[in-house]
Every structure is written in C-alpha cells, then in structure tokens.
Structure 1
C-alpha cells in the first residue's frame, strides 16, 4: 500500500502510539509558565558534571532511560533510538547512545530534531520494522552559546531579536499498542533560505521553512487549521511566530486562534529577560513531550500539529559569509477522535 499523500506527507494507517514521554529542564525553564508540565527541573545547570557539554549528555541519557521505564519496557525492548542535538558531531546523542543498549540512528536537524526523530520513529513502527522506537533530542544554553555565538565569559549584549537556548531534553517512546496519543501524518520539509545572515535573528531565518511545511501539510492532507485544536511551531520565538502567522495567510490559511510557538510559551519573556523567547532542540522537545502530550492525555487537546523548526547553520559556514538555511518537519498527533464530534 502506498502511504504517501501529496508531495511531502505520509499517512500512518496503523497509528503508532506515543506510549510515554519524559522531560527534564534547567532552572530557568523551571521558573517559566510551563513549569508544571515538566517531569524534572534541575537546580544546577551543570547537573553535577564538570562541563556543560557533559551536562547536556546527562540530560539526554536521563530522559531516554526515564521514558523507557515509564513505558514499562527495558532497553532490549527498544528496536531503534533516534536522536540528535546541536553540538558538533551530535556528541550529546552519541555519548548518551554509548550508555544504552539500543541500535542508534543519529540525526542532525538542528532545532527541528524533535519532530524529525518523532516522525521517523513513527514511520519505522508503522512500516513494521520496529515494535518500539525512541525519539529524543536535547540542547543546553551554555554549550550552544559558546559553540554558535560567543564565550559566556564575554557577557555579550543580546539584541531584541535574540532567543535563549533552552536547557532541556525530551524523549518519547513510540509503540504499536495501547490507548495513547497516536501519530497520523508526517510531513517532512524542504530546506528554505531567504538570505538571513544574522545568527541572532533565528526566528526570521526559520519562519519561511515553517510556512512552507505547514502549507504543504494542508495541501497534501486536505486539512485546514480548523481540523486542529493546536498548531505549535518549534522555536521561532515571538518574532518568527508573527512572521509565520502572517505569511501563511497568503496561502489562505488563518491559524491565529490555535497557533502557538514553543519558544514563546516556555518563558515569560519580560520577567525572565529572554528577549524574543526560547530556541534550541530542547525547546520543542520539552513542550511537545510535556505540555502538548499531557494535554492530549487529559483530553484538553484532541488534534495537534507539531512543526519543529531548525536553522541548519554552523560557525564554519557563518565565518564564510553564508546565509542561514531553515528546515521544518511536521507531525500530526491525535487522541480521542474528531474534535468536532
């Protein structure tokens, strides 16, 4: 059976279940408005480690093992681990995978990695190639800042359009059975680049990719914003969210009443001094595995569309004067039938 729908979407007929999730965030995220939806809130950004990079690896390992335990499974029950992060050669994922006994597929989708990993895990379960798969990702403010921008010790000024990389990690276990939220569609995006070169203006760089993927999802599936209770982009922040909300109207879609951005929701921007909001792989990971998943379980949300967004840049490319390509992947997650029934 051909499961492709339109140009970029697949329909998952078996409805792979998200049977558990786990989240962990740093102290700053734990002070934000979504604090009650996170499983673990750290008291120390280093999490007992001697570097921020090692701390990030520990966060990722923690959520992977916690999600498996919450699903009442063992590592040997997991057929694939899909994971990626922001650090060079995805070292957080590589070293977390070293400490678990699971076949590993490393990904680099920048901040789009949660939807990318969840989509791939769901597709491989739907295809009958796995009984269980884990989708995960992580980011850390301090490790990302010194890799992509400037040493923390410099105390660099941040422009109003800058975003704060989320210290956090999320993981989801996807399986074939149980009464849990399930994935129905996966729309993989294309790389879009509109010439933005400012590494502090990530929302503007990624918004065109978000718009393109959302538009394509609607065109491929025949759905509209009215079919969803919630549409959430990954980490565009308040600037990128406004751009996306306006640009999508050019295609005839109005999402204003149901559209949020994870980067805008995770912090109180004024009180916490995060400028345009949150960013990082961990941003959509902890919001999706925490806030969105728990609201699906409770019945407050029946149909959600998660679009994780990523800037496919590197310091090497930036030093060479390259612009910032963007990517966005979409996953439709549902629980409880038609919201209009």
Structure 2
C-alpha cells in the first residue's frame, strides 16, 4: 500500500531527508549576474583548461559533487547513491563525471527538470530506508547545449527574443537521513504536457503548461495554497514562460504575483542581453543550491516550493516536425519538519 502517497501525484515524506550541504560552480557570465555573491565558485574561463565544452561541463559537475560532499563533512564512500543528469546525448557529462567518483550511480534525464527530479527520487530513497546519504547533481554549459540543440557558435546566428541563454554551471545537493534541515517534505511528480509548441527557441512557452499543471496538482494534493509558501520558484521558464504562468494561474484562481519567480529570470539581469533569461539543467541547480539554500539557512525563507521545468525534445524529433513535450517536478523544502 502506497501509504506515503497523497492525492494523485504527490508524496508526503514521513521521515523527510535533510539537505546537509550544497555547492555551486558557474561560468563567467553567470558570475557577473545579480546572484553572483551566492555562488561558491566562479570560473574565469568556461573551458576550465579542458579540450572541449563537453569535457569542461563534466569537470564542472564532478568538482561540484566532490565539494558538496566535502562541505557535508562526508566522503564519497559515505554516499549510497549519486543521482545526476544533464542535457547532452546519453547524459555524458554526468556519466563521465561519475566514472572517477566511485559512487553507485543513477543517470537521469529530465532535461532542465533534472534537479528536482533527482531530489524527488533521492528523497524517496532516503525516506524509504534505502539510503542514509546521497548526492544529487545536474549541469549544463552554454556552448555544449548550443551546438547540440541549436547552432554551432561559429555560425553566428541571430537569436530570437524568446530564446533563453543556457546557464554554464552545476549545482550539487547532499541529502541525508540525519541533519537539521532544511528538509524535503513533499514531492509532486509532473506529467508530460504538450500543447504543440515546436519552436526550440521558445521553450518558455513549451514548458509553461507543464508548470501550471504541476502547480495545480500540488495545491490540490497537499491542500496548500500560495499563501503557505514564502517563495514559489520555477526552474527555467524565463520571462516568456513566467508571464504565461502568472496569467493562466490567475485565471485558475491563484494570484502568484507577489510570491512567484523563475530561476531563469533571476540568474541574469537585463544588461547581460540574454533575451528571455536563463535556462538549462544548471539554471535551477545553481539558483536552488546557491541563492535559495543560503537564504533559507539565514532565515529569510521558511518554506519554498521549487519546481524545475524541462523541455523533453531532441533535435532529431524536432527536425521531423514533432512538438516539444514539457515536464515539471516540484518539491517542498521546509526549514522545519511538518
């Protein structure tokens, strides 16, 4: 019997796992943005001494994982599992970062929703008694994502104003059965929602319907409302997707104006010319493990709903005329256990 499941898509954890440490690494552009003081490491060069963008991304994720574990005063041998993913084909950044860590590894692909996907599954493993400590991580890199999903940088194509800038960075979170919080108390797993958007340079519009569906489901399943949260944040809808969420949620009877923002909106400022804002697996990862976690530890936020969103398309399917399926996974993070 699924005694920890409530409603249609939500789990309420009986023994909520604690976030005991985090670590973030970002590229130079992210390090010039409004959240720069919250990041643990800012690279001067997004190649970081590697031969390719992909190898750089793998290194960024590997070092973020190792540093998060060290911050928790633990070792790799203390980790029962590593749950990680990224945007690239065969999630190679995560796999190549994992090969030297010697931690039992689950590779995940949720596109830009992977941070909350990994934390949801990690929390289930710990609450279910299958792990004491584990680490969740995601990464993305502007240059590796551009040449896989859009155009090689050398092409110099003009970007549409609805396009978003893939964050170069990685965030890692260590979850434990022991600790003093913050705690993951709920996880709402999203469904695939596809409203027919086909433009890969308008992913905010493609993912927003999934975000709305998950938000409505979370409120229905838990009985919570926006007023029960200090902050509700989506992963990387950017300016376009954020505006859609605000408008359509208001039509559903939820005015999120004063409580809701998006990581893709917060990570860059207007002077950085990222058009619709940030995106990528690293977007939610660095904002959650940097800004949100550190502000919760300072006491600014007591309860936060984090909902990372993903566009689950591929260039192959997109070129064959297929639309972009969206997904959104949400977790509740509480300073105190319920």
Tell me the TM-score range normalised by the shorter chain.
over 0.9
3-state SS of the aligned residue for 1:10? strand
- State how 1:108-187 maps to structure 2 within 5 Å: 108-187=109-188
1:337 Cα shift?
6.7
TM-score by length of 1: 0.98
How much has 1:180 moved relative to structure 2? Answer: 2.1
Contact 2:185 2:337 in 1 (8 A): no
Distance 1:180 1:294 in 2: 12
Residue of structure 2 equivalent to 1:97: 98
Task: Give the Cα–Cα distance (whole angstroms) in 2 for the partners of residues 49 and 119 of structure 1.
Answer: 32
Number of the residue aligned with 1:318: 318
Shift of 1:176: 1.2
Which residue pairs with 2:19 in the alignment?
A: 18
1:114-151, Cα deviation, whole Å (9 max, x unpaired): 00001111111011100011111000000000000001
Gaps of 5+ in 2: none
**Secondary structure at the residue paired with 2:16?**
coil
- Which residue of the partner structure matches residue 233 of structure 2? 232
Given that residues 299 and 336 in structure 1 are in contact (C-alpha distance below 8 angstroms), is that contact kept between their aligned partners in structure 2?
Answer: no
Equivalent residue for 2:306?
306
Segments of structure 1 that go 5 or more residues without pairing to the other structure are none
Q: Matched residue of 1:27: which SS? A: coil
Q: Which runs of 4+ in 1 moved over 4 A?
A: none
Query: For the residues of structure 2 that align with 1:198 and 1:77, how far apart are their CA atoms?
Result: 44
Cα distance per residue 1:241-300 (max 9 Å; x no partner) = 0101111123221111110100000000x2101000000000000000000000110100
Superposed displacement of residue 233, structure 1: 0.2
CA distance in structure 1 between the aligned counterparts of 2:337 and 2:192, rounded to whole angstroms: 33
Is 2:81 the counterpart of 1:80? Answer: yes
TM-score (norm 2): 0.98
- RMSD (Å), alpha carbons: 0.9
Whether contact under 8 Å (2:16, 2:337) holds in the other structure is: no
